[in-house]
Chains A and B, each alone.
Chain A
Amino acid sequence: MYGLDAISAHNGWQLAALGISIVFTGLIILSLAISQIHKVLELWDRRYTYYQRIRKLVQRKHRSEATVSDPVLPKNVKESARQFKLLIEQMGEPFPLPKLLDFSKKCGLLHSHSSINDLLQAKLIIPDGKGYFFWNHEVEKNIKVSMKERSKI
């Protein structure tokens, strides 16, 4: 058998069309994949920068979630909050609690354990979910605002 009949009899048209389509598909997929390699590598090389950015975003989220409306603090806690805030500013954030405890003892603050406990309960010190803590500026602001409002009344 010869000519077009031979091609049709052996499914030549289908084989050729499918064959060239697969070759094109294969090389298109490969070209797409390799065109992304340098982008993926760039992401990988900057992973620490991206990690820090994400971490900051998460921290902001935690802070806003931890906002307490109109908190009322006992007078002694307000005082220790002021002292501990200064200590934390010196230590840097985020910080481990044992370090804060140790630091406060060295600085001669009294009843460090119970003070830190009060600050934790008042959510002035909040966890970041990874074993570290940070100072909750939102709560602190709310406390200041509510104090001003009360003094006006």
Chain B
Amino acid sequence: MVNLLIEFLSNTGFALAGYQNIVMILVGMVLIYLGIAKGYEPLLLIPIGFGILMGNIPVIRDFGLGIYEKGSFLNYMYYGVMHGIYPPLIFLGVGALTDFSTMLARPSLMLLGAAAQVGIFATFLGALALGFAPNEAASIGIIGGADGPTAIFLTAVLAPRLIGPIAIAAYSYMALVPVIQPPIMRLLTTRKERLIRMEESREVSKKEKLIFPIVGFLLCCFIAPGALPLLGMLFFGNLLKESIVAERLARAARSSIIDTVTILLGIAVGASTQGDVFLTSKSIGIFILGASAFAVATASGVIFAKFMNLFLRQKINPLIGAAGVSAVPNSARVVQIVGQKEDPSNFLLMHAMAPNISGVIGSAIAAGILWSFLGG
């Protein structure tokens, strides 16, 4: 009887827990706090935070409970992460949610989305310089795309062992966009520039919106076939939305499918951060590089907008360059907030959506390129 009790107690979490588990449980709690109390990306941070709690309950090895044990419940959920199933499904929902009209009305703003991808490649170089292998460096660099699903998708194929820290870094920084971006935006622009008013966009016809997903998909995927799973689903989702006749499918994609996949992805990614796997010097490097990736991406977008102004008759507000990082629609909202602090009657949100959406396309293309360079 006593032996049984001792055996039971030795198998409890209290007996098995190491300091790493405790640290990670605290991290999970912080994420849940940020999501609920601060409202930073709650739909992502709450599942990830709770996933961290689930992944850091110490369990007996070979008992079929841990996320890395084949056949366990968590392992089945993790399958979708490791095989790049969840990110394209999230892109399907994003496509069904997104209105591309602002981008179609002013395609030149797409260049800002391209400029922000400089952050990815600059961080790739930084990670190489810090001693990361090229495939790991590429996965870290993609954090600068500010696109969680893309980061997970690329890391799953290039450096699966780093999925946990990279996903947590990507989603944490996406949630912290309102904190990270404004100081950089203010630092790189003058008050006069922040006051620039954008000219009103032309109206986009229904036919244009309908043709765009097909043209966009074909062009992007012919240029970077590696982006096929992500961009294919993104443009397909958008086609469902714009076709109207498939409204039922579009509704499913933008509600039940994306919600379900977000839960599965969040829990699986969170649970993959077991203390012994996550708390390494590499993770710290990833977090530092991730932050710099975000900063460089934001700065390159703003600087490129100022560069474009040298040639444009009708100037653009350089703040919208910061929306080139693809945290949709968070970074566009940040642009609106920063712009309105200078002039409350200046509405930049719709203009910022153009580089914001093109940033999604740009980061998916960048992921496809890095995969084709380093995936062989």
A residues sitting closer than 8 Å to B (CB atoms) are 1-4, 6-7, 10, 12-13, 15-20, 22-35, 37-38, 41
Interfacial chain B residues near A35, Cβ < 8 Å: 107-108
A16 touching B373, Cβ below 8 Å: no
Of A13, A25, A27, A32, which one neighbours B113 at CB under 8 angstroms? A27
Instruction: Name the distance in Å between B229's Cβ and chain A's nearest Cβ.
Output: 16
> Distance (Å) between the CB of A13 and the closest chain B CB?
7
Closest to A2 in B: B131
Would A26 and B107 be within 8 Å (CB), given that A13-B125, A15-B373 are in contact?
no
**Which has the most chain B C-beta neighbours within 10 Å: A10, A18, A30?**
A30
Interface size counted on chain B using CB atoms at 8 A: 42
Q: List 11 A-B contacts (CB under 8 A).
A: A12-B137, A13-B125, A16-B122, A19-B366, A27-B365, A30-B361, A33-B216, A33-B219, A34-B104, A41-B205, A41-B208
Q: Indicate if the CB atoms of B212 and A37 lie closer than 8 Å.
A: yes
B121 touches A20 (CB 8 A): yes
Q: Are B361 and A27 in contact (CB under 8 A)?
A: yes
Q: Which residues of A contact B211 (CB under 8 A)?
A: 37, 41
Cβ 8 A contact of B369, one of A3, A10, A19, A33: A19
Check if B373 sits within 8 Å of A19, measured CB to CB: yes
Q: Enumerate chain A residues within 8 angstroms of B108, measured Cβ to Cβ.
A: 31, 35
Beyond A26-B365, A34-B107, 12 additional pairs, beta carbon < 8 A: A10-B128, A12-B124, A12-B137, A15-B121, A15-B124, A19-B121, A19-B124, A19-B366, A27-B365, A33-B215, A37-B215, A38-B204
Interface residues of B in 247-271 (CB under 8 A from A): none
A38: B residues at CB distance < 8 A? 104, 204-205, 208
Interface of B: prevailing SS? helix
Name the prevailing secondary structure of the A interface residues: helix
Most chain B CB inside 10 Å of its own CB: which residue of A18, A32, A34: A34
Instruction: Map CB proximity to A onto B295-330 as digits: 1 under 8 Å, 0 otherwise.
Output: 000000000000000000000000000000000000
Contacts of A34 in B (CB 8 A): 103-104, 107, 208, 212, 215-216
**Partner of B129 from A3, A17, A31, A37 at Cβ < 8 Å:** A3
With A2-B129, A19-B373, A23-B369 given, is the CB distance from A28 to B117 under 8 Å? no
Please name all residues of chain A whose beta carbon is closer than 8 Å to the beta carbon of B374 when the two chains form the complex. 15
Which residues of the partner chain A approach B103 to less than 8 Å between Cβ atoms?
A: 34
Write out the residue numbers on chain A whose beta carbons fall within 8 Å of the beta carbon of B67: none
- Assess the B107–A24 pair: CB atoms within 8 A: no
Q: B234 to nearest A CB, angstroms?
A: 13
Contact status A30-B110, CB under 8 Å: yes
Determine if A4 and B370 form an interchain contact, defined as CB atoms under 8 angstroms apart. no
Residues facing A in B200-238 (CB within 8 A) are: 204-205, 207-208, 211-212, 215-216, 219-220, 223-224
Query: B212's closest neighbor in chain A, by CB?
Result: A34
A23 touching B117 in the complex, CB below 8 Å, given contacts A34-B215, A38-B208: yes
B244 at the interface (CB under 8 A from A): no
Report the minimal beta-carbon distance from B108 to chain A, rounded to whole angstroms: 6
The reply to whether B365 and A20 form a contact with Cβ atoms under 8 Å apart is no
Q: Is the CB of A23 within 8 A of B114?
A: yes
The reply to whether A27 and B358 form a contact with Cβ atoms under 8 Å apart is: yes
Q: Check if A30 sits within 8 Å of B220, measured CB to CB.
A: yes
Bound: A10/B134 CA distance, A: 7
Whether the pair B111, A20 counts as a contact (CB closer than 8 A) is no
Nearest residue in A to B204 (C-beta to C-beta)? A38
Q: Determine if B130 is an interface residue (Cβ-Cβ < 8 Å).
A: yes
A94 to B103, CA, bound (A): 47
A138 to chain B, nearest CB (A): 43
A123 CB → nearest B CB, Å: 46
> Is the CB–CB distance between A12 and B223 below 8 Å?
no
What residues of B have a CB within 8 angstroms of the CB of A16 in the complex? 121-122, 124-125
**Inter-chain contact A31/B224, CB cutoff 8 Å:** no
Whether B362 lies near A27 (C-beta < 8 A) is yes
Measured in the bound complex, the distance between the Cα atoms of B219 and A29 in whole Å is 8
Q: Is B286 close to A, CB under 8 A?
A: no
A98 to B189, CA, bound (A): 77
Q: Are B107 and A32 in contact (CB under 8 A)?
A: yes
Q: How far is the CA of A15 from the CA of B158 in the complex (A)?
A: 15
A12 touching B220 by the CB < 8 A rule? no
A22: which of B113, B125, B223 is its contact (CB, 8 Å)? B223
Min distance, Cβ A19 to any Cβ of chain B, angstroms: 5
